[in-house]
Amino acid sequence: MTPDTSRVVKRKTARGVRRGLLCTLAAAGAWSVVIAGLAPAAVAADDVRSKQWYLDVMRAEDMWKVTTGEGIKVAVIDTGVNASTPSLKGQVLKGLDATGVGKETDDYNGHGTTMAELIAGTGEGGGLQGLAPGAKIIPMRISDTDFQNKNDVNALDAEDAIMAAADSDAQIISMSFASDYSAGTERDAVKYAESKGKLFFAGVGNNAEKGNKEQYPAAYPQVVGVASADKKGVVADYSRNGTSVDIASPGNDIPRWCDSKFKSYCDGDGGTSAATAIASASAALIWSAHPDWTANQVLRVLFETASRTWKEGDLSNHLGHGLIRPGVNILHGKGDPGDPDINPLTNKKTPSPSGSPTPSASETASSEAPEGKASDKPGDKAVVAATDSGSGNGVLIAGVAVGVAVLAGGAFAVIRRRRSA
C-alpha cells in the first residue's frame, strides 16, 4: 500500500516539532498478519485468559520461552496496586503513595491493579495473565478526579510520582492516566525521567469522539503516546488521534477488575489505559532479552518492528509507527537498536541528570511502607500481602459490559480533571 492510498501522515519522527499534515490512517491491517503464520490456539471459554486475545496473536507463549521480562521493573503510576490478588502475589515491590492519603497498595477503584496484572500478572487463581510475567511492579499511587473530590490530596502527586519513578530502580514508567492540562512541574518531572534513562509510556486518551483534545503526559515529547487497537488491528473510535500518537497496542475487549472490592472481573474496553500497560510489557520483554540496551535502543526497536503498511519513518496520526509486535525482535532478532544516546522520540541526545527540578516526592507526600522503613527506596523491597482482599481462586468474568465513559473515570471536576487513559 502506498502512502497515498493508506493516507499516512508524513511527519518527522522527532516529536519536538508537533505539526504536519493531519491526514489519518484507520488501521495497519489485521493482527493475524502481525507475525506471519500464526494460528491462535483454542482456549477455555470461561476464564479470564480466554478473554486476553492478544496473548495468542502476539505469540506470548513462544516469547516466554526466550524471556518473561525477568530483571525488569515497571513503575505503574495509577490508582494504587493491590499486591494481594492471586495474579500479583510476589510481583509487587515497595512503591510510593504520592496522594498523602493511604498506601500505594490501596487501590481505590481497581484500575491500577488491572494495569499491573496486564504487565506482570502470573495468571494464578484465574487472574489476568501479564505479557511480561517475569517483570516486577513498583506502584506509584496518584489520584483521579473523583478521589480528589473526596479527599484532601497532595496537589503535586503526579509530579511526585514521576520523580519517584525516575529515582527508583524501575527501567520503565507506565502511566495509564490522562489530563487535558499541561503543567510546568509535570513537564520538568518528565524531562527528569528521561535524563535518568527511563522509558516512559502513557495513554493518548479515550476522547477522540469527545473533542479529541491533546492529553498529558502522553503529549510531552519525551513520552511514548500509546493508542488502542482492536482484534482486527483497527484503532478504536474512542482512541485519540494526532501527533502525540507514537505506537498502537491492544486495548479493546480486555477484562478489568470491576471495582476496589476485587471480587470479579468485568468485560469491556480497556482503552488506551490497557494499551499502555501492554506496550510497557512489550518493552519489558525486549529489554529483558537485551539487558545492555538503553531505553532509546529498546524504543527504537519497538518502532522499527511495528506492523505498518507505509514507509519506515512516516507516522500515522492514528497508529504512530504502527501496531506493536515485540515478537519480531524476540523471536526473529529483527530491529536495529542504533545509537544508545539518541532518543528516537526527539532525535536528540538524552540529557544527563542535573538534579531534581521539583521537590522530591518524599518532601511533599508520604507513604507507609508495607515492609521495611518508610525511607526505603521504591523498588528495594517486596510487598508482603497480609490478606487476599477477597480475591479467591478461579475468578470468573462478571459479564458486565463497561462503556468507555466509565473506564475514563466518570465525572470531570476541580483540581486536575485527571482520569484513567
Q: Has 160 been annotated as catalytic?
A: no
State the amino acid at position 274 in one-letter form. Answer: A
Eight-class DSSP state of 128: P
42-51, 157-166, 222-231, 284-293 — which is least confidently predicted?
42-51
Q: Has 78 been annotated as catalytic?
A: yes
Q: What is the pLDDT of residue 354?
A: 61
- Nearest CA to 334 out of 365, 289, 279, 382 is that of 289
Q: Are strands 342-343 and 348-349 parallel, antiparallel or unpaired?
A: antiparallel
Collapse the DSSP code of 288 into the 3-class scheme (helix H, G, I; strand E, B; otherwise coil) and give the result. helix
Catalytic residue among 6, 47, 56, 78: 78
Q: Has 111 been annotated as catalytic?
A: yes
Q: What letters, b where the CB count within 10 A reaches 16 and e where it falls short, cover 224-242?
A: bbbbbbbeebbbbebbbbb
Distance (Å, whole) CA 67 – CA 367: 33
User: pLDDT exceeding 70 applies to what percent of the chain?
Assistant: 75
Q: What is the mean pLDDT of residues 386-401?
A: 28
Q: Where are the beta strands (DSSP E) in 180-236?
A: 199-203, 224-229
- Nearest CA to 169 out of 71, 69, 97 is that of 71
Phi-psi region of 148 (alpha: psi -120 to 50; beta: other; left: phi over 0): alpha
Distance of CA 195 to the CA centre of its chain: 20
Q: What is the mean pLDDT of residues 237-262?
A: 96
Q: What is the pLDDT of residue 4?
A: 29
Catalytic residue among 6, 87, 106, 111: 111
Q: What is the mean pLDDT of residues 172-201?
A: 97
Binned at pLDDT 50, 70 and 90, residue 383 comes out as: low
Distance (Å, whole) CA 95 – CA 362: 12
Q: What is the pLDDT of residue 150?
A: 95
Q: What is the pLDDT of residue 47?
A: 80
Q: What is the pLDDT of residue 110?
A: 97
Catalytic residue among 176, 273, 288, 367: 273
Contacts of 91 (CB under 8 A, 6+ apart): 83, 116, 120, 121, 122, 130, 133, 135, 136, 137
Q: What is the pLDDT of residue 378?
A: 81
Distance (Å, whole) CA 68 – CA 189: 30
Binned at pLDDT 50, 70 and 90, residue 23 comes out as: very low
Number of domains making up the chain: 1
Binned at pLDDT 50, 70 and 90, residue 417 comes out as: low
Q: 188 near 174, Cβ under 8 Å?
A: no
**Cell triple for residue 244?**
502525540
- Nearest CA to 371 out of 379, 363, 361, 381 is that of 381
Collapse the DSSP code of 5 into the 3-class scheme (helix H, G, I; strand E, B; otherwise coil) and give the result. helix
Distance (Å, whole) CA 93 – CA 383: 5
Contacts of 84 (CB under 8 A, 6+ apart): 105, 262, 385, 386, 387, 388, 389, 391
Q: Are strands 172-175 and 177-179 parallel, antiparallel or unpaired?
A: unpaired
Could you report the per-residue pLDDT of 85-109, keeping only the tens digit for each? 999 999 999 999 999 999 999 999 9
Owner of C-alpha cell 493508542 = 227
Domain with 121 in it: 3-420
| Residue 233 scores a pLDDT above 80 | yes
Collapse the DSSP code of 307 into the 3-class scheme (helix H, G, I; strand E, B; otherwise coil) and give the result. strand
Q: Residue 343 is part of a domain; what is its CATH number?
A: 3.40.50.200
352 burial (CB, 10 Å; 0-12 / 13-18 / 19+) is: exposed
Binned at pLDDT 50, 70 and 90, residue 313 comes out as: confident
Q: What is the mean pLDDT of residues 328-346?
A: 97
Q: 235 near 248, Cβ under 8 Å?
A: yes
| Residue 22 scores a pLDDT above 80 | no
Q: 289 near 63, Cβ under 8 Å?
A: no
Distance (Å, whole) CA 51 – CA 236: 18
Mean residue pLDDT of the chain comes to 81
57-61, 92-96, 400-404 — which is least confidently predicted?
400-404
Q: What is the dihedral angle through the alpha carbons of 198, 294, 56, 320, rounded to the nearest 10 degrees? A: 70
